[in-house]
Amino acid sequence: MGEKQFVFSNKVKAKKWLVSFENNLNTLTQELILNVPKLYNYNTLLSLNMDFPKQKRLRENLDAVMERYWKIYNTDHVTAIGREINNMSYEILEQMEFYKKLLGKNSRNQALLTQVKTEIKHLKYLKNDIDILFDVDKNLLSLGKFEKVKKIEQSENYLRIA
């Protein structure tokens, strides 16, 4: 990913792109974070099938995901949103894969296993959508010409994406 800076020739196009980017980002992030309560539920339901330290670590990781989510929208510091969302999606997908593996060992929970497999498939599609959203160069090409610059003049309209 990295940081990218763009100079827009037209302030209206820059604002239009930024608004659509924020709307798409909010939608995808909300859809991603809706998986966290499901993971808490799986953690509770399968508590008898795993040892306590593993269960506790998974819960703490979910707490960290929720803290990152809160910081994206409520911090005054500069946040690399793309990196935070990728970390969140990685952790959620990793835990779903763990529960899939855990449920595969026990034949009693086939309905739950099917549900987890469906969620994993949905998360992979969501991850692709997030990757497409942060592929900024292709998104900006749809607006017309843009120019990558290394040095930004203060008088120009610019957008920095980290």
- Tell me: the pLDDT tens digits for 63-82? 999 998 888 888 777 778 88
Return the domain boundaries, the chain: 4-161
The two three-digit tokens of residue 103, written as one number? 């449920």
d(CA 152, CA 148) in angstroms, rounded, equals 10
Q: Closest by alpha carbon to 140, among 55, 21, 43?
A: 21
d(CA 93, CA 147) in angstroms, rounded, equals 36
**Which residue type sits at 90?**
Y
Query: pLDDT tens digits for 102-160?
Result: 999 888 889 999 999 999 999 999 999 998 888 865 555 444 444 444 444 444 454 55
3 state SS of 4: strand
Fold classification of 4-161 is Butyryl-CoA Dehydrogenase, subunit A; domain 3 (1.20.140)
